[in-house]
Amino acid sequence: MLAEILSKYKAGISLTSIILFSLINLSSHSGILVNSANRAAATLDFFTSAFHSFKSGFVRIVDSYGNYSQLKTERDVLRKKLETSQDLYVLLRYLEDENNRLRKQLEFKPSVQYPVIHAEIISLDPDNLFRTIIVDKGSDDGVKPYMPVIAYQITRTENSEKQSIESINYGVVGKIIQVTRTSARILPITDQYSKIGVKIKRTGHWGLLSGQSQAHGQPRLDYISLDVILLEGDEIITSGDGGVFPKDILVGTVTKDIFRGATFQDAIVHPVIDIKKLETVMIIKKANINYKNYYGKLTSGEVEKITGAEVDQIKDGQ
């Protein structure tokens, strides 16, 4: 009897069970669910990484059959570029020496340099409504939650004479939010949950950069005093406040969409890095003092690690 009813209404029962499962999960934030999701993510990322390797290998094979003459032309162009860059290198060394000399004279502390981990993107945005970046480096490589992520990106534009101009952009991508042994998830600055302390490079005023929903695509700069005259093209850099990002890293530029409210003004910011075209990123090995708030239970060893030398380093302002 029961078997007959179950068989007759199996589709309805299946759907009801799935609806209940989804709603209970969405409303609860239990540790078991979170830990299970984390374990499932580690497994899924392993397969994603394998698929990515397969794709990369396939692309390399296809590329190797590329036009020989095109490669020859590229080689000549690169040779010329190398000659130019050698001159630039000499100039750079001269400027570096001069910079160090002047810093000493002014008794300025040199800007802190952190080691970086180079990582390749293996997965990007599972849906059009949400944003996630998964990279192929995890806790085995020293990646920890809340480490800042930056990237270099080459962009090509045309000038008025229709000549192609290549420029290298360097800027913030986001921060690490979840780490497994072999992979890590990045929360991009454009995501609605992303909030970064920033400042306007030209004026030095502080603000908050918040990601927005997918419909907007670009983050919003909030809480800028009405006294500040915001201009289109103003560069926005990290303030270093909040303990996640080192200061003075370029985030983006102010667009023409500037809104003056009753108490503050805000503006839409065009990120310097086009996340949809990213292939590789750099994870800055900078620990965060709030790491202990990372979800799940930390073992005493992990607490020891984070409350030891790294916290002292942060307290020292490094």
DSSP 247: T
Selection from 145, 202, 193, 150 nearest residue 172 by Cα: 150
Minimum CB distance to other proteins, residue 81 (Å): 28
Q: How far apart are the first and last CA of the chain?
A: 71
Question: Measured from the CB atom, is 15 or 88 closer to other proteins?
Answer: 15
Q: Which of residues 209-248 bind other proteins (CB under 8 A)?
A: 212-217, 242, 244
As a whole number of angstroms, the distance between CA 87 and CA 90 comes to 5
As a whole number of angstroms, the distance between CA 314 and CA 179 comes to 21
Question: Measured from the CB atom, is 233 or 296 closer to other proteins?
Answer: 296
> Between the CA of residue 211 and those of 17, 108, 148, 294, what are the distances in Å?
35, 34, 16, 21
Site map (CB under 8 A) of other proteins, residues 60-99, x = contact:
----------------------------------------
Q: Of these, 15, 82, 88, 91, which contacts other proteins (CB under 8 A)?
A: 15
Binding region for other proteins (CB under 8 A) out of 22-30, 76-84, 161-169, 231-239 = 22-30
> Is 255 near other proteins (CB under 8 A)?
no
Helix, strand, coil proportions of the chain in percent (round to 5)?
40, 30, 35
Neighbours of 243 (CB within 10 A): 15
As a whole number of angstroms, the distance between CA 43 and CA 253 comes to 38
Sign of torsion over alpha carbons 273, 278, 284, 287: positive
> Is 286 near other proteins (CB under 8 A)?
no
Q: Of these, 1, 2, 3, 11, which contacts other proteins (CB under 8 A)?
A: 11
Q: What is the DSSP string of 243-289?
A: SSSPTT-EEEEEEEEEEE-SSEEEEEEEESS-GGG--EEEEE----G
DSSP 214: T
Cite the beta strand spans of 136-234 per DSSP E.
148-158, 164-179, 184-188, 195-200, 206-210, 220-225
Minimum CB distance to other proteins, residue 216 (Å): 7
> Is 295 near other proteins (CB under 8 A)?
yes
Site map (CB under 8 A) of other proteins, residues 96-135, x = contact:
--------------------------xxxxxxxxx-x-x-
Q: Which of residues 155-184 bind other proteins (CB under 8 A)?
A: 177-178
Question: Measured from the CB atom, is 264 or 294 closer to other proteins?
Answer: 294
Minimum CB distance to other proteins, residue 129 (Å): 6
Binding region for other proteins (CB under 8 A) out of 9-17, 147-155, 164-172, 218-226 = 9-17
Question: Measured from the CB atom, is 12 or 110 closer to other proteins?
Answer: 12
Contact between residue 137 and residue 117 where contact means Cβ atoms under 8 Å apart? yes
Binding region for other proteins (CB under 8 A) out of 16-24, 78-86, 107-115, 304-312 = 16-24
Q: Where do contacts with other proteins occur on this chain (CB under 8 A)?
A: 10-11, 14-15, 18-19, 21-27, 29, 33-34, 37-38, 40-41, 44, 47-48, 51-52, 55, 122-130, 132, 134, 145-146, 177-178, 185, 187, 192-193, 212-217, 242, 244, 276, 288, 290, 293-295
